[in-house]
Chains A and B, each alone.
Chain A
């Protein structure tokens, strides 16, 4: 059974940093690209960052370019999202997602971790 377990969310002050982790199981992690998708309270879905299967190519939404960094450790079946210079509008539930295959959508989602940016 595929499982994606996010951790690392919480309350952080504006300008602060947080690192999210997503540990995967139930599939060959190193074969699949992974992404982070967020959802602000009461709002829709926003893809924020992704990384290819071997970890050599990260890619970002314009809204987080330069202040979020995605990485992965295939030996630990884990993908990370380092979030710096956090702003109030980064407040959201952050979901870890697995890509079904190249050019295919996200077939598995974690349950999400809430990040709240507030003073």
Chain B
């Protein structure tokens, strides 16, 4: 069964340092997508980055990069040069397959990141 695991309930990072948030997944489908979302204390869900299972290169979006290790089934989020505004809950999510029923997502339990000044 498909599953997403985030093993770090909470993390601290010093402002301007880089931080890695862990995500492992389990699926038997060769075609899947991996997403990271940010949820600040205000509650909205903000899309950060996407990685497709067939993508040859790791995805990057500004200060966000996804360290995709397919053989290890991991999709860690790396935030470079942390800012105070990065303090939030971060969710890893997976979509299996590609069909006409759209992209149902399975979410991990989240990691709460706190950035210290």
- Indicate whether A and B interact: no
Interface residues, chain B, CB within 8 Å of chain A? Answer: none
